[in-house]
Amino acid sequence: MQTNTSLVKWRLESYYQEKKVPIWFFDQNLEVAYTNFSTAAILNLFECVRPLARNFMLAHSIEGYHLNLDNPYVMYFEFSYTIGKHSTYTMVVGPVLTVNPTETIWPELGFSGNLFAEQKRVLSRALPVMDVEDFKLEITNFLKQVIDVIPPTFESDNISAVINKYSSEEDSYEILSSEDDVFNSDEISELCRLEDFFQVYITNGNTYQLYSMFKDEHTMGILFPNKASVQSSKVRASELLTLARVASHESGNDSISSYSRYQKYSTKLIDAKNYETIAKIVEKCAIEFARNSHDMSKYTNDSYSPMTNKCIQRIIERLPDRISLDELAKELHISAKYLSALFNKETGSSITDFMQDLRVNEAKHLLTNTELSYLEISTLLNFSSQSYFNCIFKKKTDLTPKEFRERAMQKNVMSN
């Protein structure tokens, strides 16, 4: 049923005041057009809710709603809704909890990885708690009374089954069954072996083995058997990005951060026009995942406050992308002045110096373990120019990148 936008928003705000049930409107670009939910932890919940909207949009041509009960502690309801003549949105109702969260339950909710104690306290008051049958009844009343649509009869189909069905339709079948992509048994064995190495390198944070893997033409020929086909290369790239995301999560990184990085690079694949671009996207994503696994435990510290450790985690997750103090403070929901003072007090370093140290340490490893040029390393680590890279590197190490590499080579020769 078509309804005026302002009227719907007013109804949803009133509904939240009464029921405390969050509602999210996502447009076709998966941007939040509106939500009646607002707390200090809204960004953390957004990172969890947005993938649900995306998955539902994939399955939209098959079913018009989905009751999401995959997690025993938290529930969602997803459906499509039209406002006015032409505006269609994906709406997500939730999260709605099935129990009052305790310290043992918070990690199971799917959005606790980015939350601090104060945010947990706020969410405990801001989210409703009810059982499954009450949630179904609440959805029925919401659809009838708030947005004037006929409520569905709930089914038990899991969204994963719907997406798998959607993914296996004719277009995908044609891509995957192409004669150019058919492997013999030896090639399948080699492919599985390389994929295993690919995941192990990411789980263990072996960025340098990944660099070598992507520079080896034989390896890339196995991973991408049909380089001439952009469509086929994208399919393989999507599979490798999925393996990278799973490996990152298994290494101990939180699922939301892993999915966000996966989504970021999956989106870049859409506009890729050739194999070279596609391979570079996979390479950069895999190395970011591996670097995240490698550096997190090295730089965080149990003696630091949760805020400082979270700040370090966010910086490493964004490496080598630039992130300002104001952006960090906004993501962590505190003032930039307080964050800067806290970080400096606990680590003995400014945030700017810490970010420079991270990139210089990564440059040291690349200079020692790869044959990348100085320009390639400075570009890869997002320095504004090679001369600026040289300047910062010398400031931190008292050596130029060339001098550092030459000394590293001499040590390797002597050790052999």
User: For residue 95, is the peptide bond before it cis, meaning its omega torsion is within 30 degrees of 0?
Assistant: yes
Q: What is the mean pLDDT of each run of 10 residues along the chain (416 residues)?
A: 56 73 82 71 70 76 70 88 68 89 81 64 81 86 78 52 39 41 66 82 74 87 90 88 82 72 86 92 88 71 88 77 85 90 93 91 81 83 89 95 91 72
Q: Is 324 left (phi over 0), alpha (psi -120 to 50) or beta?
A: beta
CATH number for the domain running over 305-415: 1.10.10.60
CA distance 354 to 348: 10
pTM score over 0.85: no
Long-range CB pairs of 243-246 (<8 Å, 24+ gap) are: 243/195, 243/198, 243/199, 244/198, 244/199, 244/202, 244/282, 244/285, 244/286, 244/289, 245/289, 246/199
CA distance 26 to 236: 29
Q: Which residues pair with 77 in a beta bridge?
A: 67, 93
Going from N- to C-terminal start, the domains of the chain cover: 5-165, 178-298, 305-415
Token pair in block for residue 193:
């072996």
